[in-house]
Structure 1
Amino acid sequence: MKANSHFLYRQSDMACSKIFSGNLPELLYEIIQNFRKDLSTLYSCILVNRLWCRLAIPLLWEDPFSVPAHHYRCIATYLCFLNEDNKAKLIEYGISNNVLSSNTLFNYPSFIKNLDTNKIRRSIIYWMRALLDITDDMIGYLVYRSLFEVFIENEGNLHTFEIYQ
């Protein structure tokens, strides 16, 4: 038993030396990766400090359309990354400039890993109903196309891409 406790002491001593030698971000990265599918824990992580936030945000934004009814708000964030011409087109169709302008802390489109065209379409419908109080196919198509332009321009690195007709 004594040898076993000595081993545990050495392990914790090595972990402490890693922390104090500057390896905390790497260790924390490994820990936070374990919460990849636990969205509520990731949301809590972003509130701890800047380091935790920088590590958790990419995980939260890698599959933003996974629950369309709850995550449709990410659409407005993505639309902030549109160029001025595309923003002007959306404004022509009645989308408020307030929806399209916001300061963002991260390049959220670059974090996307999983895209499912059916989930994006459903999210756009929820977004239009909830925030714009409209359901216009032309606006929906324009937002859909604009989102893909944002993902391409911001060099999102996809792992999965599902297309439905």
Structure 2
Amino acid sequence: MPTLQKKLPSLALKEVFEILANDIKTLYSCTQVNSEWFCEASPLLWRDPFSNKSKTHFAIGTYIQEMSLQKKQIIKKNFNISRFESNSLLPYSSFLRSININNFMDAVINFWQNFHKYSQ
């Protein structure tokens, strides 16, 4: 028997996700439900990715994936980074609305340290 799947209207999802904007764990869980929820919740997760220092170095890798092929080749050549050749799913950098520069710098350093730790 076929099931009828009712979908929440996009605007309703946005409203719910906006309420959850400060609950990062729940919002992240919402991105795992389906592709529509992923596309609606991701901009909220990525509008201030450096506000919390926890795992912010992953954001740096995601931003590298968004770079043009030419820029990726420069990074690959100068820093021996090859695992960021794939493209990202969404334009994550376009969601950025706020940045804590100190946390950003810490994330870059943390990214570099983690990259070298796992690439050796």
Q: TM-score, normalised by structure 1?
A: 0.61
Greater fraction helix: 1
Determine the structure 2 residue equivalent to 1:84.
69
Determine the structure 2 residue equivalent to 1:125.
109
- Determine if the alignment matches structure 1 residue 102 to structure 2 residue 86: yes
Contact 1:68–1:126 (CA under 8 A) maintained in structure 2: no
Listed as ranges, the gaps of 5+ residues in structure 2 are: 1-5
CA RMSD of aligned residues (A): 2.2
Superposed displacement of residue 132, structure 1: 2.2
Within 2, Cα distance between the matches of 1:23 and 1:70?
A: 31
Determine the structure 1 residue equivalent to 2:50.
65
Structure 1 residue runs of 4+, over 3 Å off?
Answer: none
Superposed displacement of residue 88, structure 1: 2.6
Determine the structure 2 residue equivalent to 1:8.
none
Within 1, Cα distance between the matches of 2:13 and 2:20?
A: 11
Greater relative CO, 1 or 2 (CA 8 Å, sep 6+):
2
Superposed displacement of residue 23, structure 1: 6.9
Structure 1 residues 103, 84: CA separation in 2 closer, same or farther (over 3 Å shift)?
closer
Contact 1:47–1:53 (CA under 8 A) maintained in structure 2: yes
Structure 1 residues 23, 91: CA separation in 2 closer, same or farther (over 3 Å shift)?
closer
One-letter amino acid matched to 1:68: K
More deviation, 82-91/101-110: 82-91
Within 1, Cα distance between the matches of 2:69 and 2:39?
A: 28
Structure 1 residues 31, 71: CA separation in 2 closer, same or farther (over 3 Å shift)?
same
Within 2, Cα distance between the matches of 1:69 and 1:27?
A: 30
Q: Can you list the C-alpha shifts for 1:5-42, whole angstroms capped at 9, x where unaligned? A: xxxxxxxxxxxxxxx8x872211211111000100001
**Percent identity of the aligned residues?**
29
What is the number of residues matched between the two proteins? Answer: 113
Larger radius of gyration: 1
Within 2, Cα distance between the matches of 1:108 and 1:89?
A: 21
Determine the structure 1 residue equivalent to 2:3.
none
Listed as ranges, the gaps of 5+ residues in structure 1 are: 1-19, 134-165
Query: What SS does the corresponding residue of 1:63 show, helix, strand or coil?
Result: coil
One-letter amino acid matched to 2:57: Y
